[in-house]
Structure 1
Amino acid sequence: MYIIAGLGNPTAQYEGTRHNVGFDVIDVIAKQYNISVDVRKSRAFIGKGMIEGQKVILVKPQTYMNLSGESIRGLVDYYKIDPENELVVIYDDVSLDVGQLRIRKKGSAGGHNGIKNIIAHLGTQIFPRIKVGVGEKPKKYDLADYVLGHFSKGEKEQMEEGYHNAMRAVELMLTGRIDEAMNEYNRKVTPKET
């Protein structure tokens, strides 16, 4: 069984913000695989289903980003998941272009407070993750204001493509093909002409 966790902040005011792309990817996966993510457990909304022949639990922690680890740790313990092999965390990254993915088997938090909290609660930084680019913060912008801001119309289209690529990466990862996912999606995407 796998836990696929998308990070974000609860409540309507954060919907569609850069910081909530993890939730948005979970929504795309849930829709594609007809999984309802509406059961409350361990301070999260979860939904159980099957993807690529694997049992999965889709997770949207409701703890607010900085405490994501509390929710994830509770679910990892309850379902006896091995984080190093059976957990995938999806979250925003300001160092990547809009819609660009970076898949990693492990790594530091890289300044991301949600990941920092997950590492602290799991006691390891070895767990697969998918970073979804939300674009670099403009100079003079406050980082918190930037990640809690919304995408432009053009950016939304790029993000939609990024969400679907993230879903395809999850499909590969669930069948033991994380290296293939990394080769496919860790390369620079050239923006389409508008």
Structure 2
Amino acid sequence: MKCVVGLGNPGATYALTRHNIGFLVVDALAERAGRPIKLAECEALTGRITLGTEVVLLAKPQTFMNASGQAVALLCAKYDCNPQHDLLAVVDDVALPFGRLRLRAKGSAGGHNGLKSLNAKLKTEHYARLRVGIGPAHPVGNLADFVLSRFSAAEQSELPALTARAADAVEAWVCHGIELAMARFNA
């Protein structure tokens, strides 16, 4: 079983903030499959879909971004998920321009607190991640305020296409592997 984890913050206050793009991508995958993400387990909301011949566990940790690793580690243990081969984390990336995607097979947290938590709890950086660009076109004064702010009207109009493209990248990772997915979506 593959595990695709969208990182974000739970609750209506954070629902459409930039930091929650991981939740939005996982929601797009669930919506495509007509399957809800509503089972509460391992400090996350989960749902299962099938992509190709692969069963995929979709998860949205409910531990808040900075403690996401706690839920992900519990899910990996429960479902015997080997992070190196079976885990994909979907996260926001303020260093990438809005709308740009970057898939990697492994890597550092790069300053992202959600990934720092995963690295610490999983005791590895060897898991795939899909970074979704939320970067501003201009410098921002307070980065925390920026990532916790809502998308602009222009960005909101582009969100459906962005989450659909990110969901396509996840499907490519599941069905064809990281190398093909990187070649197709990192351009």
Asked if structure 2 preserves the Cα contact closer than 8 Å seen for 1:99 and 1:160, the reply is: no
1:121 aligns with 2:121: yes
Corresponding residue for residue 162 of structure 1: 162
Counterpart-to-counterpart distance in 1, 2:67 and 2:39: 19
Compute the displacement of 1:99 (Å).
1.2
Counterpart-to-counterpart distance in 2, 1:40 and 1:67: 17
User: What secondary structure sits across from 2:155 in the alignment?
Assistant: helix
The alpha-carbon distance between structure 1 residues 180 and 145, as it changes in their structure 2 partners (threshold 3 A), is: same
Counterpart-to-counterpart distance in 2, 1:140 and 1:57: 36
What 5-or-longer segments of structure 2 have no aligned partner? none
Letter in 1 for 2:153: K
What 5-or-longer segments of structure 1 have no aligned partner? 188-194
Corresponding residue for residue 153 of structure 2: 153
After superposition, give the CA deviation of every residue in 1:49-108 in whole Å (9 maximum; x if it has no partner): 211221111000000000000000000001001100100100000011111100000000
After superposition, give the CA deviation of every residue in 1:120-148 in whole Å (9 maximum; x if it has no partner): 00010010110000013843521110000
Corresponding residue for residue 76 of structure 2: 76
Q: Give the 4+ runs in structure 1 shifted more than 2 A.
A: 136-140, 157-160
Corresponding residue for residue 3 of structure 1: 3
User: What secondary structure sits across from 2:176 in the alignment?
Assistant: coil
TM-score, normalised by the number of residues in structure 1: 0.93
1:20 aligns with 2:23: no
Pairwise CA RMSD: 1.2
Matches within 5 A, 1:55-94: 55-94=55-94
Asked if structure 2 preserves the Cα contact closer than 8 Å seen for 1:7 and 1:65, the reply is: yes
Q: Which structure shows the higher strand fraction?
A: 2
The percentage of counterpart residues that share the same residue type is: 40
